[in-house]
Amino acid sequence: MTASATIRVAIAGAAGRMGRSLIEAVLADAELSLAAALERPGHPALGRDAGESLGVATGVRVVDDLEAAFAVADCLIDFTRPAATLAALAVAVRTGKAMVIGTTGFSIEEKQVIEAAARSIPVVFAPNMAVGVNALFKLAEIAAGILGDDFDVEIIEAHHRHKVDAPSGTALRLGESVARALGRDLAAVAVHGREGITGERERASIGFHAVRGGDIVGDHTVLFAGMGERIELSVRSSSRLTYASGAMRAVRFAAGRPPGLYDMQAVLGL
């Protein structure tokens, strides 16, 4: 790709809320061009212009053919569901194209599939691509290292009523950042919600609490509760464009990279 060429981008889930935000961000970025838009077979948006819901004619029709999309794109952005993402990943590996994955809810085994794919192609995989959220990952890790075992850690997240997984991938990533700084195994100390006679809080536990309702785009708070003081680190997203903007940075980062599994910390140089 020459210095003047744009990076050709395909968008999975193009007719969804996140897909529309991603298309809007690609169209606004002079370094990128919209090459393909994908939806699942039978979706009513198939055959329509990808920019129709935005009031823009892109000349790109929504299709359900992964092979055709990868034939004209340099990178696919996928914020859909695990099964659909893994199906796209298999085609990306076969065609040697990059992927930016913002999908959440993967099992341990599915994450291993992504890791294996990244040995063949560049993959940027992050539970949240918003720049502010990724700053929070780093700040939470630093705070945990300073505060140590004297502060209890609780992570609270809120999302719209349509979100299907809980806790969010972002909340889990925050937990991983804190656990790493404290030298704990998150799988062993995580507590998901509380109900009934739970007994006294285990000092090493890291709590997770998920709120679902309305049109909340995404709120995340890491609460460090000590004796006599509390520290709260929060980020609140009011638009999906924050995620889309980060995804554009991820696409530019992935372009021309060697195979490997990258996250937003790498993209942002953190």
Structural domain spans, the chain: 7-125+240-267, 131-237
Q: What is the mean pLDDT of residues 197-203?
A: 95
The pLDDT, as a whole number, for residue 1 is 47
pLDDT greater than 70 at residue 2: no
Least confident piece of the model among 30-39, 55-64, 232-241, 245-254: 232-241
Indicate the fold that domain 7-125+240-267 takes in CATH: Rossmann fold (3.40.50)
Residue 240 pLDDT grade (very low, low, confident, very high; cuts 50, 70, 90): confident
pLDDT of amino acid 147: 98
For the chain, give the mean pLDDT.
95
Identify the pLDDT of residue 171. Answer: 95
Residue 167's contacts (CB-CB under 8 Å, 6 or more residues apart) are: 155, 157, 192, 208, 209, 210
Quote the pTM value: 0.79
Q: Report the Cα 85 to chain-centroid distance in Å.
A: 12
Q: Write phi, then psi, for 142 (nearest 5 degrees).
A: -65, -45
Token output for 107: 């099992």
> In the prediction, which pLDDT does 3 show?
45
Which whole-number Å values give the CA distances from 141 to 110, 182, 183, in the listed order? Answer: 26, 9, 11
**Residue 49 carries which DSSP code?**
B
131-237 — its CATH code? 3.30.360.10
**Which are the catalytic amino acids?**
159, 163
Please say whether the beta carbons of 165 and 157 come within 8 A.
no
Reported as a single tens digit per residue, the pLDDT across 22-54 is 999 999 999 999 999 999 999 999 999 999 989
Nearest to 242 by CA among 262, 217, 266: 217
Helix (H, G, I), strand (E, B) or coil at 246: helix
